[in-house]
Chain A
């Protein structure tokens, strides 16, 4: 079975690609389909990810406490890893949305969980390290990018099809404020390359990718 995943990295931004030189991400940038995710301020991790999962625009500040199985899980049969729709996160690996888990530990655990799950079914996973830390520690931006870049490299090496995205760009000070453009890098071409990618499009693109295999 061909392996496929939807990987979201909160806060990942094209604007740091030349500053931090993430080797794997730059290689992807030059070799796969790329685009720009558009998500206006204010942006929050839970509602941004829930927009992807429900294939509908969701707004709101807090984490979810009561919800049914999101549409994208029902329609894809995917395993989920570390989705920040709840706090602690939702899925086979779960961490609180604060600074208590080191970024390297999060990346390592997400990689392990994705590689384990993707042997049996598609995977939807999130890495929150950039968003969790850069609001408070912009001085370690490139160290975090390096950890994320290495982890992404390990995951994508094992996959045939993927959508790698960020629901918004880098933190800009206060909670809820980030660059309004995120990353889209994928083996899946988009029907209209001269459109920005909306959050609700990402779930549909993932489903199209699964159905086209």
Chain B
């Protein structure tokens, strides 16, 4: 006979399987969030900033701890500000692009309006500061 108590290993396996399925869907959804920030490189950077009215680019590096602190903020903002495109550029892999925009440290967040650089935030920046800059750019040419 089957015993369906909380200690039942078969029941536990079924529950674990269902839970893993749920978590897989959740992870896929989170992956979609991450995809809302586009990885930029030498091939797509120029088009990304010129073909969109408002663009935000995070200059980052794999060794940069504050970059990982700030990335969830940008992911959230990318979901909320549908009219703005968000991208990130690894300065170690693409130093010439970073140099061209005067990027001296990471993380740096560069704002573009109609293809032109319109503002820079350097270092660990709060969500409020980034939002304030976005709202200002939306109102001003």
Contacts and interface: CB of A to CB of B under 8 A. Distances in A.
Interface of A: 13-19, 29, 34-36, 38, 135-136, 138, 169, 172-174, 177, 181, 183-184, 193-196
B73 A14 contact: no
B62 A38 contact: yes
Given A174-B20, A177-B27, A195 B63 contact: yes
Interface string B46-82: 0000000000000001111110111111000000000
B133 interface: no
Contacts of A13: 68
A19 B63 CA distance: 21
Contacts of A17: 69
A174 B24 contact: yes
Interface string B18-47: 011001101110100000000000000000
Given A36-B64, A181-B62, 5 more contacts: A14-B69, A18-B72, A18-B127, A136-B19, A195-B63
A16 B23 CA distance: 18
A20 B73 CA distance: 13
A29 B65 contact: yes
A33 to B, nearest CB: 10
Interface of B: 19-20, 23-24, 26-28, 30, 61-66, 68-73, 127
Given A136-B19, A174-B20, A196 B65 contact: no
A17 B30 CA distance: 18
Most buried by A among B28, B69, B73: B69
B23 A136 contact: yes
Contact of B72 (A19, A136, A177): A19
A194 B72 contact: no
Given A193-B63, A196-B62, A138 B26 contact: yes
Secondary structure at chain A's binding surface: helix, strand, loop or mixed? Answer: mixed
Contacts of A194: 61, 63
A172 B27 CA distance: 6
Contacts of A138: 23, 26
B69 A36 contact: no
A172 B24 CA distance: 8
A173 B26 contact: yes
Given A14-B68, A18-B69, A18-B73, A36 B62 contact: yes
A138 B30 CA distance: 12
